[in-house]
């Protein structure tokens, strides 16, 4: 199915019972976002908001709300793309099996963007920011944001669409110090292609031209989030995925997506920044206000029947989780093909993706030796932390298996496998004073923090405790202690106050427990938290709290810890301090009044009464 517009896709979803219309007027201030969050949680359909307060334009959300729906949308192209990726790994396959691969080879024509189409529907009307659906998602957001933008830039030293970058970088439409209808906030994180383009323009003292596409065929949205190899065109991928060549033209020096619903054009000038944010982001916290580039608006265009697509991010899982699932579906084992020896990797969604990576590698360096210890997997770990967006990882757990099958996607079993084998005196490797995800506030500053690799390989060293050892349950310093999963405990003490007090507490733990270490060998990991019941109540709660609220270099401690030749280790249990610290960003919370208002849509007579939603 080749959709020529977003409306084509929504009509297709409606014909097949995968879209619901909301006919009541809805408020873009928190209300639309609250509806999206509930419908996604219920596994509900795509949503078309017919009457959005303050705008004449309709809006749509939850389009990619499940992997099954994404598979339906791209049902005619997913198979071909997988074959093309396979051909990239084995180019000779097209000659070995020409009939099996002919359709994929023919589909490659769609990867060529089509310039100057005869129809330019996006130029139907010129509008302003104040005409758009100004959706505010969370109570403390700094204003209204675009959450599904396709931000297009070109290399000023090598212009043209084949040297362009298309990325999904959030756009702040209103609020803060932005002049309404004249300026926008352009937020992008580290390790993004647009940064290269802006750096080149800045070096020449020239503004960077930016085009922001909103809507259009759904393949265009997916292309903007696809982690493609450097040098591969997102527009080419959009054409492959959508079974339709990316159509574009130039208008007053700006590249325009002909099939988009809206296009915003403008320029980013060197050293022109303003505070952007806060924004409720996908780690489940607010990303706070920081200086980011300002886009000086040139013109904004819209189709006659333009529909405004949006999503809402928050503590995972949310709709962007489905994006991740679709990316994995498309790429398969492409990452492992790029890194020799890597068999599998999982950026854990429940932990916010970048804070936690799980990986399985190979151990082939010394097969002639009986001793089993990490060697090749350490090389693989360094390669992972130097590859694309994987480099933003904060915690990396990596292992290799000669015997029992283990999968990074069975998270509980994977952690059990690692913790049974890890030597806490040897197998932790820190990277201090380095970069981490822009949205991660556990570090010492924006984009700054630390990383740690847990590398475990060999035969099991311990049997993990499936109950709380009596020694710890009677430990007076702990206010509460709970079993999370075998080998992992969560405990409470006082709230965090200072690094000095934390070190004093660790010293007290060590003084009490160091001579009893042999009794604690079955508990290699303990999580120091504010609410042990919450952390222990589910695996997802444990993952979210433990890895989003800790900075390895500052917050990893151990009973009877030592530093030897600049290597840190511990003889007793490892402790991750995941208590909330003063510098952390606040967690996202819903507005009770808005939630009560949204209840009416799910009550008898409301548009969403047929959906089974949770509160």
The per-residue DSSP string of 434-491 comes to EE--TT-TTSSBTTEEEEEEEEE-SS---PPPSS--HHHHT-TT-SEEEEEETTEEEE
Task: Over range 522-526, report the average pLDDT.
Answer: 97
Bridge pairing between strands 395-399 and 448-456: parallel
**Contact, 363 vs 372, CB < 8 A?**
yes
The whole-angstrom separation of Cα 64 and Cα 311 is 9
For the cut 60, the answer to whether the pLDDT of residue 249 exceeds it is yes
Q: How far is the C-alpha of 61 from the C-alpha of 38, rounded, in Å?
A: 12
Contact 274, 177 (CB under 8 A): yes
Confidence label for 109 from pLDDT (cuts 50, 70 and 90): confident
| % of the chain surpassing 70 pLDDT | 94
What pLDDT, on a 0 to 100 scale, did the predictor assign at position 89? 53
**pLDDT at residue 96, as a whole number:** 41
Question: What DSSP line would sit under 205-264, residue for residue?
Answer: T-PEEEEEEESSSHHHHHHHH--PPTT--HHHHHHHHHTSPPEEEEETTEEEETT-SEEE
Least confident window among 30-39, 316-325, 563-572:
316-325
Q: What are residue 52's DSSP bridge partners? A: 26
Residue 102, pLDDT > 90, answer: no
Of the candidate ranges 194-203, 228-237, 497-506, the one whose mean pLDDT is the lowest = 228-237
Under the banding of pLDDT at 50, 70 and 90, the label for residue 99 is very low
Mean pLDDT check: name the lowest of 225-229, 410-414, 559-563, 569-573.
225-229
Q: What value does the CA radius of gyration of the chain take, rounded to a whole number of Å?
A: 26
Instruction: Say what the pLDDT of residue 86 is.
Output: 64
Burial level of 415, CB count in 10 A (0-12/13-18/19+)? buried
pLDDT for the residue 88 = 57
- DSSP letter at 349 equals G
The model's confidence at residue 198, banded by pLDDT at 50, 70 and 90, is very high
**105 or 120, higher pLDDT:** 120
pLDDT given for residue 114 in this prediction: 94
Neighbours of 312 (CB within 10 A): 22
84 alpha carbon, distance to own chain's centre: 25
Tokens of 275: 């505070």
Nearest to 339 by CA among 376, 393, 392: 376
What are the structural domains, with CATH classification, of the chain?
6-315 (2.30.110.10), 335-456 (3.40.1670.10), 470-577 (3.40.1670)
Q: Within 10 A of 174 (CB to CB), how many other CB atoms are there?
A: 19
Count CB neighbours of 24 within 10 A: 13
Does the pLDDT of residue 335 top 80, yes or no?
A: no
Model pTM score: 0.92
């Amino acid at each position: 199915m080749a959709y020529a517009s977003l409306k084509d896709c929504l009509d297709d979803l409606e014909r097949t019972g995968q879209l619901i219309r909301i006919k009541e007027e809805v408020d873009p201030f928190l209300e639309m976002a609250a509806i999206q969050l509930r419908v996604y949680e219920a596994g509900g359909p795509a949503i078309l908001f017919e009457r959005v307060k303050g705008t004449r334009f309709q809006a749509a959300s939850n389009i990619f709300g499940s992997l099954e729906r994404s598979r339906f949308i791209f049902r005619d192209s997913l198979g071909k793309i997988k074959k093309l990726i396979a051909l990239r790994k084995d180019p000779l396959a097209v000659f070995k099996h020409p009939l099996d691969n002919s359709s994929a080879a023919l589909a490659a024509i769609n990867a060529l963007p089509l310039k100057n189409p005869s129809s330019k529907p996006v130029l139907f009307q010129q509008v302003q920011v104040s005409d758009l659906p100004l959706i505010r998602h969370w109570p403390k957001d700094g204003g209204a944001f675009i959450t599904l933008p396709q931000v297009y830039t070109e290399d000023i030293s090598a212009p043209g669409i084949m040297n362009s970058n298309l990325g999904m970088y959030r756009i702040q439409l209103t609020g803060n110090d932005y002049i309404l209808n004249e300026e926008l906030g352009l937020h992008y994180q580290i390790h993004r292609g647009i940064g290269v383009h802006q750096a080149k323009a800045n070096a020449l003292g020239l503004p960077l031209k930016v085009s922001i596409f909103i809507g259009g065929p759904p393949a265009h949205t997916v292309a903007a989030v696809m982690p493609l190899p450097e040098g591969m065109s997102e527009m080419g991928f959009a054409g492959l995925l959508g079974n339709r060549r990316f159509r574009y033209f130039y208008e007053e020096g700006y590249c325009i997506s002909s099939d988009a619903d809206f296009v915003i054009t403008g320029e980013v000038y060197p050293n022109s920044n303003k505070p952007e944010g806060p924004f409720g982001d996908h780690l489940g916290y607010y990303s706070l206000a920081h200086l980011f580039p300002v886009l000086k608006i040139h013109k904004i265009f819209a189709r006659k029947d333009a529909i405004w697509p949006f999503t809402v991010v928050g503590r995972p899982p949310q709709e962007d989780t489905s994006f991740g699932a679709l990316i994995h579906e498309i790429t398969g084992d492409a990452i492992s093909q790029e890194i020799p020896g890597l068999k599998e990797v999982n950026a854990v969604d429940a932990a916010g993706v970048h804070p936690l990576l799980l990986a399985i590698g190979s151990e082939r360096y010394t097969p002639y030796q009986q001793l089993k210890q990490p060697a090749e997997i350490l090389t693989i770990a360094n390669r992972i932390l130097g590859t694309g967006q994987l480099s933003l990882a904060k915690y990396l757990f990596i292992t290799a298996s000669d015997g029992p099958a283990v999968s990074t996607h069975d998270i509980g079993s994977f952690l059990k496998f690692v913790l049974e084998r890890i030597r806490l005196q040897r197998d932790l490797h820190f990277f201090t004073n380095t970069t981490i995800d822009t949205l991660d506030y556990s570090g010492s500053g924006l984009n700054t923090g630390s990383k740690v690799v847990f590398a475990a390989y060999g035969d099991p060293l311990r049997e993990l405790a499936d109950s709380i050892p009596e020694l710890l349950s009677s430990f007076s310093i702990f206010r509460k202690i709970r079993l999370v999963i075998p080998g992992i405990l969560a405990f409470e003490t006082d709230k965090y106050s200072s690094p000095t007090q934390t070190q004093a507490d660790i010293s007290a733990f060590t003084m009490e427990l160091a001579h009893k270490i042999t009794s604690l060998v079955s508990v290699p990991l303990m999580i120091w938290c504010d609410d042990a019941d919450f952390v222990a109540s589910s695996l997802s709660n444990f993952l979210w709290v433990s890895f989003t609220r800790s900075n390895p270099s500052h917050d990893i401690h151990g009973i009877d810890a030592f530093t030897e030749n600049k290597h840190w280790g511990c003889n007793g249990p490892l402790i991750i301090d995941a208590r909330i610290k003063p510098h952390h960003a606040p967690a996202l919370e819903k507005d009770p009044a808005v939630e009560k208002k949204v209840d009416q849509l799910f009550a008898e007579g409301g548009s969403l009464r047929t959906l089974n939603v949770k509160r």
